[in-house]
Amino acid sequence: MASTLTKDSAAPAEKTFLGHPRGLANLFLTEMWERYSYYGMRALLVLYLVANVADGGLGMKDATAVAIYSVYNAMVYLLALPGGWLGDRVWGARKATAIAGVIIMIGHFLLAIPVDGLFFVGLGFIAVGSGLLKSNISTMVGQLYTDKNDPRRDGGFTIFYMGINLGAFVAPLTIGWVGQKVDWHLGFALAGVGMAIGLLFYFLGFRHLAEESSKVPAPLSAEERSSLIRKALIWLGIAAGGYAIVGLAGVFNEDWVLWPLTIIGLVLPIWYLFKIKRDKDLSELERSRMSGFIWFFAAATAFWTIYDQGGSVLSLFGKNDTQDSLFGFEFPTTWFQSLNPLFVMALAPVFAMLWVALFKRNREPSTISKFAIALVIIGGSFGVMTVAQMMASGDTKVSPMWLVSVYFLMTVGELCLSPVGLSLTTKLAPQKYASQMMGVWFLAITTGSSIVSLLQLVGAPTTHPVWFAGLGVIAALGGAAIFASRDKVKALMGGVN
């Protein structure tokens, strides 16, 4: 997207980017390149894990690769909560984002070194950095608009959102092609270069960011800092001691990491959600709204359980059971990962206009109806996958259009649920937890990904039609159930629509 420098009529001295504060250009480019690196690496991850050692991969079983991918995805969104806390209490959003970018870049370059142990260390770096960045860069976008009622505010976030999808679209086409067709580690290195470019734009734009972004909103006291460091060292020591014993016993394998992280990804979000609901400082109205939020959280968990298999189970289906050419044009499997961001960029404006048009006619679906629609659609996408998997028996490979159709349906479902869920979360959030609830909403992704990991660890077969049919039916039934309970949920929402 090209930028233009103009003079804002209301503030003649202010340089602007498409009519917005100049800092938006730098945050847009930072996020675009960070997403470029992130989604490029994700497009390669599962394929690299299962590739034969002779072909430069790690030669893992499909189930193990899907579990690793799912746990990694779960941790990114789980770590967004402490990432936001670090921005609020320790570093401030500007410094936290800079640190996050450096950690991500190091992680990608560690993946580029052909040493197995370093690969998983690199994944850990990227998960930590992504969680930290995700929580703080969006905060800085909001801080560019000093007036909370600035009419440009929503448009600024829309431009920023387009940067996310633009980076996610281009990444599999370039990083994916280099990694899959040239060299895996060169592809990971290219992702690191992408993050480095993003950091360059970020540091060059410091003078254009809001001064508020460099401040720590609620800094830790000396006592709090000492207590936190002491507790962190104790838990770190316990974990290090436990894994040292396992290592010395010679029984360490990936399950010793996957199982604990999967359980944490399942238990911690649920515990935190109910901790907020049972907080005695909440009013009766706030507790009722939290009860309503739990319905939406459960629906979102079911949705993301299916949706986030787009980069793992569906990627493997694309590699093993889908033709890699269309109309005589051959392409790498990673290119399927560009479909979702492409569809988002194409359909998001259409959906925005659709909801407005339906609202004007007093026919816009309620929030809970949109969630129900999303669940039925995502369930339907796995219905399509059930047929595709049945057709791909033996050595038969199906047309790429099956996966195109599935990703299209997933995107339609996403646009019915994700933007609506973000807005709803801000409306239902108790005042005490206003700044934390967005992180809680993202924990639905953590829970959904952890469910997939758990199913893989216990041996559920992702190459059987029953996998797709079972999850598809559960999602569709969940959509029907939440629609049937819409009056009950609406009553819990306390006047929020």
Nearest Cα residue to 4 out of 22, 26, 31: 22
Domains (range + CATH), the chain = 13-219 (1.20.1250.20), 269-497 (1.20.1250.20)
> Using 50, 70 and 90 to split pLDDT, how confident is the model at 162?
confident
Question: Three-state DSSP class for 150?
Answer: coil
Nearest Cα residue to 320 out of 50, 9, 85: 50
**What is the DSSP code (8-state) at residue 362?**
T
Average pLDDT estimate for 231-238? 92
Instruction: Write out pLDDT tens, residues 284-327.
Output: 999 999 999 999 999 999 999 999 999 999 999 999 999 998 88
Whether the per-residue pLDDT at 12 is higher than 60: the answer is: no
Q: What is the predicted pLDDT for the residue at 433?
A: 84
Instruction: Write out pLDDT tens, residues 464-494.
Output: 999 999 999 999 999 999 999 999 999 999 8
* Residue 52 burial by Cβ neighbours in a 10 Å radius (0-12, 13-18, 19+): exposed
Residue 316, token pair as written in the block:
């493997």
Which are the contacts of 169, defined by CB distance < 8 A and separation ≥ 6?
338, 341, 342, 345
Work out the angle at residue 487's Cα, subtended by the Cα atoms of residues 481 and 489, and round it to the nearest 5 degrees.
Answer: 70
Whether the per-residue pLDDT at 339 is higher than 50: the answer is: yes
CA dist., res. 113 & res. 45, Å (int): 14
Q: What is the predicted pLDDT for the residue at 283?
A: 93
**What is the DSSP code (8-state) at residue 412?**
H
Residue 238 CA to its chain's centroid (Å)? 30
Note the pTM of the prediction, 2 decimals: 0.92
Instruction: Write out pLDDT tens, residues 270-291.
Output: 999 999 999 999 999 999 999 9
**Sign of the dihedral through C-alpha 462, 65, 59, 403:** positive
